[in-house]
């Protein structure tokens, strides 16, 4: 019996260690290697291989995995955004999804937008493979969707051209100066009275969860900790003239959905 328990415990530890090594290699490890090789100057140098290689995208983009990464709060966070879009007056308006995200957030956002009357949903991402992958999830709404390969920090869209903009877990992966640029662009393209829906990590309240989150960011997501203080999205957004924000937190404050409204 004791041998069975020992083997089971070893197997669990091995699986967890292998999983951690896999994600480290494809996240922070990739950034370290690019830095050593002097390849951090390209506009997409901060993008992890897990979001650019089609085989890796298909391997990882499985709803149970994505839900587990977000401590099974994924559905709740997406629902906060979807409920907001359903309340918005999107009749004949355009909706922007800034950067693709794994899981079912894009289909749910597109569905909510179309049912709220949106005439078009634009999905923009710097990686073409992400756009191609997103397209496989949205066959039933094809006539309402436009795909565009563009950078979140330098969008090609005109000023005040969309009524709603959804950015789901992008900021924590951007170098700090690009976080500010991405938020500026996200608000620039919004029409007066339009809303930015931003899903992200947040500083947890319980000290144990805070320590675990801090460790996670230090190991896997080196740009994420700034969201706790120096690059808090609410502070950045409210520094813009007239912008108002609502912050909704989940799971002891570990996650947040921010709704930022552009002044009329």
Position 64 pLDDT exceeds 90: yes
- For 6-10, which contacts have Cβ atoms below 8 Å and span 24 or more sequence positions? none
Q: What is the pLDDT of residue 13?
A: 65
Q: Give pLDDT tens digits for 73-130.
A: 999 999 999 999 999 999 999 999 999 999 999 999 999 999 999 999 999 999 999 9
Position 56 pLDDT exceeds 80: yes
Q: In percent, how much of the chain has pLDDT > 90? A: 77
User: What is the number of alpha carbons within 13 Å of residue 218 lying toward its C-beta?
Assistant: 6
Give Cα 212 to chain centroid, integer Å.
Answer: 20
Reported pTM: 0.92
Q: What is the pLDDT of residue 15?
A: 63
Tokens of 261: 């409204």
Domain 63-261 has CATH 3.40.50.150: yes
- The residue extents of the domains of the chain are 63-261
Q: Give pLDDT tens digits for 206-241.
A: 999 999 999 999 999 889 999 999 999 999 999 999
Which of 146, 158, 238, 234 minimizes the C-alpha distance to 198?
234
Instruction: Say if CB 171 and CB 98 are below 8 A apart.
Output: no
Position 20 pLDDT exceeds 80: no
């Amino acid at each position: 019996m004791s041998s069975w328990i020992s083997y089971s415990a070893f197997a669990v530890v091995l699986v967890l260690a292998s999983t951690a090594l896999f994600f480290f290699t494809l996240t922070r490890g990739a950034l370290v290697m690019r830095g050593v090789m002097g390849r951090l100057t390209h506009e997409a140098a901060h993008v992890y291989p897990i979001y650019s290689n089609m085989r890796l995208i298909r391997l990882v983009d499985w709803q149970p995995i994505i839900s587990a990464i977000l401590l099974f709060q994924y559905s709740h966070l997406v629902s906060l955004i979807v409920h907001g879009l359903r309340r918005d007056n999107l009749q004949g308006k355009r909706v922007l999804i800034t950067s693709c995200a794994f899981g079912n957030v894009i289909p749910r956002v597109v569905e909510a937008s179309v049912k709220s009357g949106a005439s078009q949903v634009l999905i923009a991402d710097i990686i073409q493979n992400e756009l191609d992958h997103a397209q496989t999830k949205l066959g039933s709404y094809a006539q309402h969707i436009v795909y565009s390969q563009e950078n979140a920090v330098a969008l090609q869209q005109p000023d005040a051209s969309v009524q709603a903009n959804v950015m789901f877990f992008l900021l924590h992966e951007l170098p700090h100066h690009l976080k500010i640029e991405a938020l500026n662009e996200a608000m620039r393209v919004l029409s007066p009275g339009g809303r930015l829906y931003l899903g992200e990590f947040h500083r947890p309240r319980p000290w144990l969860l805070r320590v675990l989150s801090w460790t996670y960011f230090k190991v896997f997501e080196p740009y994420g900790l700034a969201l706790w203080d120096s690059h808090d999205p609410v502070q950045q957004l409210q520094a813009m003239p007239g912008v108002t924000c609502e912050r909704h937190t989940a799971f002891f404050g570990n996650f947040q959905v921010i709704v930022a409204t552009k002044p009329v």
